[in-house]
């Protein structure tokens, strides 16, 4: 194991301030935990950085999101204009919004990579089932953040993409139309939908994310990092590095690199605003959802109009719903891994899912939109 | 109607066949249509076929409304002159025949209260009417030539021969016929010229049926629209601002003295093309140069007007180009682009004000536009300057971040090499 530097060892280095805070906050206890926390070192260690990177991007989202709230006005009449004002008139408004938009996309990307790395390395095995469940919930929350946030600028693309996206909920038999009208606040996407999405985006989802994130981090802290069987030292007696400061400093390098990438993307490709939504206009040609919905959108297009006695689209929606449930239940379905035996099926299923998502996403951007 | 000897047995056979077939099934009220529809001679059956969706048929009129006779009788006895049967009316008779109903306000209000009832009176004042009714010239148009005899449709019906999209072809049916027009010594290129015009393009491609076609300038039934002494003045019906400025200008009086047509002197009549800035001044394609030269005051005014318009147009284009450059680079300039519409509006007004031929008036409009352009341009330049600044700051930020990363890497190495590995 790497030698532990004495960064946290001398509480005298902050003198009386440390003592004062320690007496009230119990910092020594935290310090003891931090001292003990190690990160396994093996050929798959790199995947451990994805969770921290996602957390960094989430914090970036919270910070820029709060700044956006200072100017954003959630109504069909003012939303677009408030963003226009922010982008054109507010000092660094363009930067805050562009960072918010780019960090959102990168966060969803890192969440996906994090999830699949955990799946393929079987880090969901006992006793980390609840860590996995909270992680899948956080993926769902991230996607919902993206879906609700996309409508908020109230531009043409967002409006029609939301109309198409919410229509999918409406195809669910019996309850679909009810949920559709609850989500939209009416029969169609309107100002009522905007205020609902706004409330969900800035209040409900952050509250839910805080709960699940807190649980997720607590469980990661409690159980430590999972070591894959295939990794060197899978018996838990392999090499390790201290979390403070060795792993955290490496994390910082990743965060700074991502921050530089986001800054470059914001400077060269600022978030676009487009044309204000006009519900009375026809939908623009070739309208597409956000990239992380593309594989589902494209899959639905390939389905025949009818499968057995059901509409093809309904079958597709059910299939994705079922896939989501199966993903959630992976720790309980992978019974051989529970018994400590080697199980390759779920790894191959994970690889197939990754290939499916990548191929369908590429097809979504390259295939003829009429097919 | 005359039939040859050879056709008589066939006709007789047909009539017997028709009567026997229709004796039970026929409508008691309309024996004409019932019989004529099944006659083998197309000249006799086609009118009955066509009339089925004629506006008059849909309002409940039958053949006898125009042709007379008794439709309750089956067979030739229905066509008894004693019962008012007139057969096919003579061309000179047609206006009066149509006018029996269409000039009767009380009668017409039962069917279409909005329809005017002075068509026949107007027709009588037109060249067509005068030649037909006074000179007895049977070659000029009567009602049925434009409206057809048996398939008359409302003007709003695209199948109508007088629908705006079909009026040029209807008029051109005679007026583009060189042989037919030879005796009147009038040109026959109006249809071809009109179909190159902006007005026809607006109707046929733009779908704007309010754009003028033949009858909007030349009148429907009369010689010119009511209240207009001369067909050239029709332009003012739509282009009122230009017409008002022109009427108060020196050119209006001079053109009147010279006997020049007002608008058509510069814009032509049938082949009216979109007005362009090139028409102004003394350069190539400039209509001012037809009368003026650089040496006369009019030529100098034309040059000054062109310069004023050009200055606003080019500066507006430059500002637009700057804004587009900024927008394509991801800058938010939509408000500035919207504000530039004010300069475009000023340019449109300045171009209209040209018809006053007054440099001061035009400069006032151009000045208002230039003021907007200056403000908008500075916003575009500011956006481009911000863009450059963003990239400089990005470079600075990246350098700082890279330096931090290098520092962290060095710290980790120092830390781990110092401590060694266990």
Structure tokens, B48: 């009955």
pLDDT band at A273 (very low <50, low <70, confident <90, very high): confident
With a CB cutoff of 8 Å and minimum separation 6, the contacts of B349 are: B365
What is the Cα–Cα distance from A200 to A183, expressed in whole angstroms? 10
Give percent of chain B with pLDDT exceeding 90: 65
B259 and chain A in contact, CB less than 8 A = no
Sign of CA dihedral B159, B160, B165, B166: positive
Predicted pLDDT of residue B123: 92
The helix or strand, by DSSP H or E, that contains position A298, with its residue range, turns out to be helix A294-302
- Which band of pLDDT confidence, cut at 50, 70 and 90, is reported for residue B64? very high
DSSP string, B109-128: TTT-TTS-S-HHHHHHHSHH
Model pLDDT, residue B5: 39
Q: Which of A171-175, A276-280, B354-358 has the lowest mean pLDDT?
A: A171-175
Closest chain A C-alpha to B404 CA, distance in angstroms: 8
Structure tokens at B344: 């475009």
Give pLDDT tens digits for A189-229: 999 999 999 999 999 999 999 999 999 999 998 998 888 87
Tell me if the bond preceding A245 is cis, omega within 30° of 0.
Answer: yes
Interface of A with B in 85-104 (CB under 8 A): 87-88, 94-95
Residues of B in contact with A263 (CB under 8 A): 394, 397-398, 401
Q: Is the dihedral of CA A26, A27, A28, A31 positive or negative?
A: positive
Q: What angle do CA B267, B269, B275 make, to 5 degrees?
A: 25
In a domain, B310, yes or no: yes
Question: To the nearest whole number, what is the mean pLDDT of chain A?
Answer: 89
- Judged by CB atoms within 8 Å, which residues 4-33 of A form the interface with B? 4-5
Identify the pLDDT of residue B162. 94
User: What are the start-end ranges of the E strands in chain A?
Assistant: 38-40, 240-242, 306-307, 310-311
What's residue A206's pLDDT? 97
pLDDT of residue A11: 53
pLDDT band at A88 (very low <50, low <70, confident <90, very high): confident
Task: Give yes or no for a cis peptide into A347 (omega within 30° of 0).
Answer: no
Please report the pLDDT score of residue B222 as a whole number: 80
Tell me whether strands A38-40 and A240-242 are parallel, antiparallel or unpaired: antiparallel
Domain layout of chain A by residue ranges: 1-36, 37-366
* B313-336: pLDDT as tens digits: 999 999 999 999 998 888 889 889
**Residue A2 DSSP SS3:** strand
**Distance between the two ends of chain A, CA-based, in angstroms?**
57
Mean model confidence pLDDT for chain B: 87
pLDDT score of A12? 57
Considering the domain boundaries, does residue B331 fall inside one? Answer: yes
What pLDDT does A210 receive? 97
Pairing of strands A306-307, A240-242: unpaired
Q: Which of A82-86, A302-306, A324-328 has the lowest mean pLDDT?
A: A302-306
pLDDT tens per residue, range A100-152: 999 999 999 999 999 999 999 999 988 999 999 999 999 999 999 999 999 99
Q: What ipTM goes with this model? A: 0.80
- Region B84-105 average pLDDT: 93
Q: Do B347 and B316 meet the contact criterion of CB atoms below 8 Å apart?
A: yes
Q: In this structure, which CATH number among 3.50.30.10, 3.40.50.300, 1.10.10.10, 1.20.810.10 belongs to the domain A37-366?
A: 1.20.810.10
Check: CB of residue B239 under 8 Å from CB of residue B348.
Answer: no
Which candidate from A239, A253, A263 shows the least CB-CB separation from B405?
A: A253
- Number of independent structural domains in chain B: 1
pLDDT in tens, A20-67: 888 899 888 888 888 888 888 888 889 999 999 999 999 999 999 999
pLDDT given at position B422: 32
pLDDT digits (tens, 9 = 90+) for A308-363: 888 888 899 899 999 999 999 999 998 887 777 777 888 999 999 999 999 999 99
pLDDT at A191: 93
pLDDT at B7: 42
Question: Mapping DSSP to helix (H, G, I), strand (E, B) and coil, where does residue B41 land?
Answer: coil
pLDDT of residue B343: 96
The shortest C-alpha distance from B419 to chain A (Å) reads 5
Written as six digits, the tokens of A294 are 């593309």
**Cα–Cα distance, A294 to A289 (Å, whole number):** 6
Q: Chain B window 309-348: which residues touch A at a Cβ cutoff of 8 Å?
A: 330-335
Q: Is residue B135 scored above 50 in pLDDT?
A: yes
B16 lies in some domain: no
pLDDT at A265 over 90: yes
Q: Does B399 touch chain A (CB under 8 A)?
A: no
**Segments forming the whole domain that contains residue B370:** 297-387
Which DSSP string corresponds to A152-174?
A: TT-BHHHHHHHHHHHHHHHTSTT
pLDDT(A371) > 90: no
Find out whether B118 and B96 touch, Cβ atoms under 8 Å: no
Q: Token pair of A359, please?
A: 């191929």
Asked, for residue B36, whether it belongs to a domain, the answer is: no
């Amino acid at each position: 194991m790497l030698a532990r530097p004495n960064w946290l060892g001398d509480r005298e280095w902050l003198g009386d301030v440390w003592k004062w805070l320690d007496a009230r906050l119990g910092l020594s206890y935290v310090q003891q935990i931090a001292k003990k926390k190690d990160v396994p070192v093996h050929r798959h260690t790199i995947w451990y950085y994805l969770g921290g990177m996602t957390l960094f991007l989430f914090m970036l989202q919270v910070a820029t999101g709060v700044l956006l709230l200072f100017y954003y006005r959630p109504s069909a009449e003012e939303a677009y204009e408030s963003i226009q004002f922010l982008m054109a008139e507010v000092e660094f408004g363009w930067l805050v919004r562009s960072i918010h938009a780019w960090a959102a996309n990168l966060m969803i990307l890192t969440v996906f990579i994090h999830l699949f790395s955990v799946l393929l390395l079987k880090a969901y095995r006992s006793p980390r089932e609840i860590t996995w469940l909270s992680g899948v919930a956080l993926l769902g929350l991230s996607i919902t953040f993206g879906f609700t946030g996309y409508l908020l600028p109230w531009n043409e693309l967002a409006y029609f993409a939301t109309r198409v996206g919410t229509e999918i909920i409406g195809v669910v038999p019996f309850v679909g139309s009810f949920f559709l009208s609850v989500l939209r606040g009416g029969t169609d996407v309107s100002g009522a939908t905007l205020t609902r999405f706004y409330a969900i985006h800035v209040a409900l989802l952050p509250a839910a994310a805080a709960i699940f994130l807190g649980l997720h981090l607590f469980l990661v802290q409690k159980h430590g990092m999972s070591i894959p069987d295939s990794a060197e030292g899978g018996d838990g007696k392999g090499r390790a590095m201290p979390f403070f400061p060795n792993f955290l400093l490496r994390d910082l390098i990743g965060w700074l690199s991502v921050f530089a990438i986001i800054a470059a993307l914001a400077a060269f490709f600022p978030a676009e605003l487009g044309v204000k939504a006009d519900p009375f206009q026809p939908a623009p040609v070739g309208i597409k959802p956000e990239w992380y919905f593309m594989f589902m959108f494209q899959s639905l297009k390939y389905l025949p109009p009818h499968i057995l006695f059901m509409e093809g689209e309904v079958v597709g929606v059910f299939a994705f719903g079922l896939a989501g449930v199966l993903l959630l239940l992976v720790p309980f379905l992978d019974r051989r891994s529970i018994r400590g035996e080697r199980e390759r099926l779920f790894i191959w299923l994970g690889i197939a899912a990754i290939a499916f998502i990548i191929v369908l996403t590429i097809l979504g951007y390259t295939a003829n939109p009429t097919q | 109607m005359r039939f040859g000897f050879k056709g008589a047995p066939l006709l007789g056979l047909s009539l017997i066949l028709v009567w026997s077939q229709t004796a039970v099934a026929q409508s008691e009220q309309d024996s004409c249509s019932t019989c004529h529809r099944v006659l083998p001679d197309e000249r006799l059956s086609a009118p009955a076929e066509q009339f089925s969706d004629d506006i008059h048929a849909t309002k409940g009129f039958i053949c006898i409304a125009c042709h007379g006779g008794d439709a309750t009788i089956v067979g030739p006895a229905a066509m008894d002159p004693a019962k008012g049967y007139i057969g096919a009316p003579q061309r000179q008779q047609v206006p009066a025949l149509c006018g029996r109903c269409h000039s009767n306000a009380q009668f017409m209000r039962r069917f279409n209260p909005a329809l005017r009832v002075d068509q026949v009176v107007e027709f009588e004042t037109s060249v067509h009417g005068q030649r037909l009714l006074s000179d007895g010239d049977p070659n000029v148009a009567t009602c049925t030539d434009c409206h057809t005899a048996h398939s008359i449709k409302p003007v709003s019906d695209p199948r109508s021969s007088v629908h705006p999209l079909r009026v040029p072809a209807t008029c051109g049916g005679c007026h583009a016929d060189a042989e037919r027009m030879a005796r009147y010594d009038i040109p026959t290129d109006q249809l071809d010229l009109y179909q190159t015009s902006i007005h026809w393009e607006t109707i046929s491609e733009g779908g704007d049926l309010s754009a003028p076609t033949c009858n909007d300038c030349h009148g429907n039934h009369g010689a010119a629209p009511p209240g207009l002494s001369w067909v050239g003045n029709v332009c003012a019906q739509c282009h009122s601002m230009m017409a008002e400025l022109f009427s108060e200008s020196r050119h209006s009086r001079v053109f009147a003295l010279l006997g020049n047509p007002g608008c058509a002197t510069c814009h032509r009549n049938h082949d009216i093309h979109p007005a362009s800035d090139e028409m102004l001044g003394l350069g190539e394609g400039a209509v001012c140069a037809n009368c003026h030269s650089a040496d006369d005051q009019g030529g100098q005014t034309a040059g000054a007007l062109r310069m004023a318009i050009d200055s606003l147009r080019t500066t507006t284009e430059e500002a637009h180009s700057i804004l587009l450059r900024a927008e394509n680079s991801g800058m938010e300039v939509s408000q500035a682009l919207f504000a530039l519409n004010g300069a475009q509006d000023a340019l449109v007004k300045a171009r209209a004000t040209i018809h006053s031929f007054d440099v001061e008036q035009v400069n006032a409009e151009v000045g208002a536009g230039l003021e907007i352009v200056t403000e908008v341009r500075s916003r575009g330049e500011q956006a481009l300057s911000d863009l450059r600044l963003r990239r400089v700051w990005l470079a600075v930020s990246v350098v700082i971040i890279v330096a931090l990363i290098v520092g962290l890497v060095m710290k980790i190495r120092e830390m781990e090499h110092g401590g060694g590995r266990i």
